[in-house]
Amino acid sequence: MGGSKSTSATSAEAEVFSLSASVAEMEAMAKKLRRHIVTMVGKAGSGHPGGSLSAVEIVTALYFKILRHKPLDPQWEDRDRFILSKGHAAPLLYATLAECGYFPVKELLTLRQMDSRLQGHTDRTITPGVEMSSGSLGQGLSFALGAALAGRVDGRGYRVYALLGDGECNEGQVWEAAMATAHYNVDNLTAVVDNNGQQIDGWNCDVMNLDPFVGKWQAFGWKVIEVDGHSISQLIDAFKEAQKVKGQPAVIIAHTVKGKGVSFMENNPDFHGKAPNAIEMELALKELE
Ligand X SMILES: Cc1ncc(C[n+]2csc(CCOP(=O)(O)OP(=O)(O)O)c2C)c(N)n1
Which of another protein, ligand X, none does residue 86 bind (CB under 5 to 8 Å by kind)? ligand X
Closest contact distance (angstroms) between CB of 24 and ligand X is: 26
Q: Which of 239, 225, 263, 250 is nearest to 60 (CA)?
A: 239
Closest contact distance (angstroms) between CB of 255 and ligand X is: 12
122 scored as a contact of ligand X (CB under 6 A):
no
With 0-12 CB in 10 A as exposed, 13-18 as middle and 19+ as buried, what is 95?
buried
224 scored as a contact of another protein (CB under 8 A):
no
Cis peptide before 71 (omega within 30 of 0): no
CA 285 from chain center: how many Å? 22
Sheet with 160-165: strands ordered across = 81-84, 160-165, 189-195, 250-255, 223-228
Distance separating alpha carbons of residues 190 and 245, to the nearest angstrom? 10
Which of another protein, ligand X, none does residue 207 bind (CB under 5 to 8 Å by kind)? another protein
| Interface mask toward another protein for 136-175; x: CB under 8 A | xxx----------------------------xx-xxx---
142 scored as a contact of ligand X (CB under 6 A):
no
| Interface mask toward ligand X for 69-108; x: CB under 6 A | -----------------x-x--------------------
Closest contact distance (angstroms) between CB of 205 and another protein is: 11
44 scored as a contact of another protein (CB under 8 A):
yes
Sign of CA dihedral 53, 58, 61, 64: negative
Task: Name residues contacting another protein, limited to 45-104 (CB under 8 A).
Answer: 45-47, 87
Distance separating alpha carbons of residues 255 and 195, to the nearest angstrom? 5
Contact status, residue 28 vs residue 11, Cβ threshold 8 Å:
no
Closest contact distance (angstroms) between CB of 201 and another protein is: 5
